Structure 1
Amino acid sequence: MVRTRRMSVLRAVVEDYIRNQEPVGSTALAKRHNLGVSSATIRNDMAVLEEEGYLIQPHTSAGRIPTEKGYRFFVDRLSSVVPLSKPQRQGIQAFLEGSVNLQDTLQRAARLLARITGQIAVVASPSLSKSTLRHVELVAISTNMLLAVVITDTGRVAQHMLQAPQMPTQHDIAAFSQIVNRIGTGRSLRDCARLIRSIHHTDLATWTQDLSNRLASALDTMADEEHASELFMSGTSTLAHSDRIHELGPLFDALEEQFVIMRLMDDLNEHQNDQGIGVAIGSETKTPGLLHAAVVSSGYGQATTSQGLTDFEAPTQQSSSSAGDDSSDDSSDENKEQGSAVQHMALDLSNANTTSPVAYIGAIGPTHMDYASTMAAVWTVARYLTAFLGEEHQ
């Protein structure tokens, strides 16, 4: 019982510090939260929490602030997150629908996520190694040169020049392309390369063996090009005006190393919660420049049903407010109305043929960020981005 109350005190401290960025005192907690005990008891609980490493007192006689361990406890107890408001969801849909291609879509996703969270938003483009083949087109551009245009399931387009010692006829090129697309569509580029090398050439001209090997090698090369994943970023100017810029300076240096950010977001895939959201706080990022920062990430690009943006049941927040707060009854009607709006505006992933994500979207900000709303924004934009790409490129 005492432990439960103490953890409620911790949650209250984290909530207040996130809201005000000022050290939190016991008297203030007693006034703002229905903890059911006196300020003296709260003060004793805070002292114990400090001894256990959840809180720290920056100055003598000042209130306390959460440590990295305190934030981690708070985030781990956010078993679900608050859905975004109806206007926010409508804005996401309308903003993405205005894009003209994949690159524009990802740039727009970064801008709107930064706008919603107030943090730095990063969106990685789908890497070719995690994409599957949608279509291959071979185009003769000279007497001995072909251009292979490879389109993936995520909308990525890659091109590769293929030398042809003996230029085939247009009919032969079309016949070979048809075979490649029949055996390779829906497979990874590396699997597609392996199958192309195994094509039987008895019914085609002898040049196909050489072209098969060249095309297979090109696909292998594309699959190896992890650096081809661009990182779209937005929101740095907003965070640069923070009153704690002295703490966030190293963060901007870390952002220059885009490979480090992409690796971190990829690693978070191994430590996601049940909803597919990963959070790394301070030293957990294993990046010196992010010791005073937190990263919230979620994957996008899973296979979805052909319905695209339809109905789904979005996650609802299990309140992280202090024990003894009986506000749930008063807000039940509001929650039902909000849940209905969420169902109307979102997408159905319940029957989706999901696979591992092809890329990641995330938000980076100070450790005192609003984790609940940031997690909700990252989750929602990732789901809309998944559905949008599936709708556009199916």
Structure 2
Amino acid sequence: MVSQRGLEVLRVIVQDYVSSREPVGSKAIVDRHQFGVSAATIRNDMALLEEEELIVAPHTSSGRVPTDKGYRLFVDHLAEVKHITPTQKQAIDQFLDDSADFDELLGRTVRLLSQLTNQVAIVQYPTLGSTRIRHIELVSLGNRRALCVVISDNGQVEQKLIDLEVELSEQDLAQLCSGINAQVAGKLHSELSESITSLTSQVPNALIPAVTHIASALSDSIQANRQNKLVMAGTANLVRTGEDFSDSIYPVLDAIEEQVVLLKLLTEMKADADEVAVSIGREHSNSGLEQASLLSTGYSSAGEKATLGLVGPTRMDYSSNIASIRAVARYLTRVLDAR
């Protein structure tokens, strides 16, 4: 059983180790913090923490560093609640509000979060299940091909290259585009293919093959979107902290590059918009991230939930990173709701 003072000793060990990257000894704790007891007493507290597997000595006669279990106790019970500064709030607000479209907004989000935290930032695209079609544009590319641009009510833009099978004049393409928009404007993405297919009974026979191919291509595009995709920034931050990974940083880099692994972990963590979920080290075993921590929280776009995340070494400033990811997720939701 760890005493209250022992828990405070654990808290300062985590904070000092995160700050210095150096193992923390009893003399350093007495010198830096006001416990009002001797170094020998602190050593006894540290011995009890070691028995509980909350700290460990990385080398003989060295100080102590937190274990995954120690970080977990710190995150759940000992971390101080932090808030982002007014300057940071203003920077987040301005940086996200300046985004021109949905894709740029998500790109800016991960770049901003990686800069605030010095970690790898990840944002998951929301699925298109409950978003509605605002407009569809068809652009002729010649050689019986066209670019189909689908604009959703949340500002998301999807582009799809389509083989029309027939050569269409500019007038025919404009007529087809007008008919498609009359059918699909305001409809859910899930209703898109069926709505376009219904046009086959309303257009000249020469346009029917084009209608069929457009409906099929957009159906495939929607299905692919439902598989989810991620945008990431800040991988260089991870490389700069390579010495925090005692074995090798390469399994971590491989796991980040393999987006399926991250999507699985983010899905399992199931963070809500009002909380930040934290998975530490071996808690996500067999993923390549056994020496890393993953933070995630939710954001929403047109009613669709998606996830914002951070990946970094277990030796990270959890309090500040939790405050940053929570703040950015809330601003992101606010910006999307305003569009």
Question: TM-score over 0.5 for the alignment?
Answer: yes
Taking structure 1 as reference, are residues 154 and 4 closer, same or farther at Cα in structure 2, changes over 3 Å only?
farther
**Which AA in structure 1 matches 2:290?**
L
| Cα offset, 1:138, TM superposition | 4.8
| Cα offset, 1:88, TM superposition | 1.3
Scaled by the length of structure 1, what TM-score is found?
Answer: 0.69
Q: Of the candidates 167, 174, 192, which is equivalent to residue 178 of structure 2?
A: 174
Q: Of the candidates 286, 309, 322, which is equivalent to residue 375 of structure 1?
A: 322
Aligned pairs for 1:14-93 (under 5 A) are 14-35=14-35, 37-77=37-77, 81-93=81-93
SS at match of 1:89: helix
| Cα offset, 1:384, TM superposition | 2.0
Aligned pairs for 1:87-126 (under 5 A) are 87-124=87-124, 126=125
Scaled by the length of structure 2, what TM-score is found?
Answer: 0.79
Taking structure 1 as reference, are residues 224 and 379 closer, same or farther at Cα in structure 2, changes over 3 Å only?
same
CA RMSD of aligned residues (A): 3.7
Partner of 1:156 in structure 2? 157
Aligned pairs for 1:207-356 (under 5 A) are 214-226=213-225, 229-234=229-234, 236=236, 238-242=237-241, 244=243, 247=246, 249-250=249-250, 253-254=253-254, 257-260=257-260, 262-264=262-264, 266-267=266-267, 269-270=269-270, 272=271, 275-286=274-285, 289-303=288-302, 355-356=304-305
1:9 aligns with 2:9: yes
Instruction: Describe the superposition over 1:263-322 as per-residue Cα deviations: whole angstroms up to 9, x where unpaired.
Output: 25533542x37733222222223355423222222233334xxxxxxxxxxxxxxxxxxx
Partner of 1:310 in structure 2? none
| Cα offset, 1:369, TM superposition | 0.7
Between the aligned partners of 2:137 and 2:112, the Cα distance in structure 1 is 37
Partner of 1:365 in structure 2? 312
| Cα offset, 1:383, TM superposition | 2.1
| Cα offset, 1:259, TM superposition | 1.4
**Which AA in structure 1 matches 2:301?**
Q
CA contact (8 A) 2:11 2:74 kept: yes
Between the aligned partners of 2:200 and 2:275, the Cα distance in structure 1 is 45
Between the aligned partners of 1:231 and 1:159, the Cα distance in structure 2 is 19
Between the aligned partners of 2:135 and 2:98, the Cα distance in structure 1 is 27
SS at match of 1:178: helix
**Which AA in structure 2 matches 1:85?**
T
CA contact (8 A) 2:27 2:39 kept: yes
Taking structure 1 as reference, are residues 302 and 149 closer, same or farther at Cα in structure 2, changes over 3 Å only?
closer
**Which AA in structure 2 matches 1:220?**
S
CA contact (8 A) 2:162 2:213 kept: no
| Cα offset, 1:176, TM superposition | 4.0
Instruction: Describe the superposition over 1:91-149 as per-residue Cα deviations: whole angstroms up to 9, x where unpaired.
Output: 2222233444434333333332222212233344x255557233242537379766532
Taking structure 1 as reference, are residues 23 and 147 closer, same or farther at Cα in structure 2, changes over 3 Å only?
closer
Between the aligned partners of 2:266 and 2:157, the Cα distance in structure 1 is 19
SS at match of 1:23: coil
Any unmatched runs of 5+ in structure 2? none
Partner of 1:323 in structure 2? none
| Cα offset, 1:376, TM superposition | 1.3
| Cα offset, 1:70, TM superposition | 0.7
Partner of 1:306 in structure 2? none
Q: More deviation in 147-156 or 56-65?
A: 147-156
Instruction: Describe the superposition over 1:66-88 as per-residue Cα deviations: whole angstroms up to 9, x where unpaired.
Output: 00111111112268842211111
SS at match of 2:149: strand
Between the aligned partners of 1:191 and 1:80, the Cα distance in structure 2 is 48
Percent of aligned pairs with the same residue? 32
Q: More deviation in 365-374 or 14-23?
A: 14-23
SS at match of 2:24: coil
Taking structure 1 as reference, are residues 110 and 140 closer, same or farther at Cα in structure 2, changes over 3 Å only?
closer
CA contact (8 A) 1:292 1:366 kept: yes
